[in-house]
Structure 1
Amino acid sequence: MENNITVYTTTQCPYCKMVKDFLNEKDIAFKEVNVENDPAMMQKVVEQTGQMGVPQTEINGKWVLGFDPERILETIKQ
């Protein structure tokens, strides 16, 4: 089953880079949305998670907040 993964980021966020690097190292495809360039998407993230911070990773409709590699892999396997 293919996963639908979107990482919500900002340009200067070191943890955003860590999430993207981690997914790339694991050869896991993802889409990136830079919320600095798309405030409407940031609003969507806040409405869904209640969190303003990045990175936030949406995996098949479930959210992982921050850089949490174990939780990302666990959520992908669900």
Structure 2
Amino acid sequence: MPGNTVGIWIGEDDDLIERFDEALGTKEPTYSRSESIKDSMEFYLHIQDALDDMDLTFPSERDKRMWIRQAIFDRARSEAQPE
């Protein structure tokens, strides 16, 4: 089956893999890191498309993540409040 293998460098002091596996690997008994990474890449593309559609730009990736996180919290709070 043709396809691609993509590799990334993660330094020995970086706990990204452990945090990723802990956050996503405990949700399904048939956890696949590869599938979860592909899902994460697809999810990121959807987020970027939405930001592009709204013409939103951010000075840094960190600022973008903080804005998205706050938007999720704000939406959850507004849905939890009775009208």
For normalisation by structure 1, the TM-score amounts to 0.30
In terms of fraction of residues, the more strand-rich structure is 1
In terms of fraction of residues, the more helix-rich structure is 2
For normalisation by structure 2, the TM-score amounts to 0.29
Which one has more relative contact order, counting CA pairs under 8 Å at least 6 apart?
1
Q: Computing the radius of gyration over CA atoms, which structure comes out larger, 1 or 2? A: 2
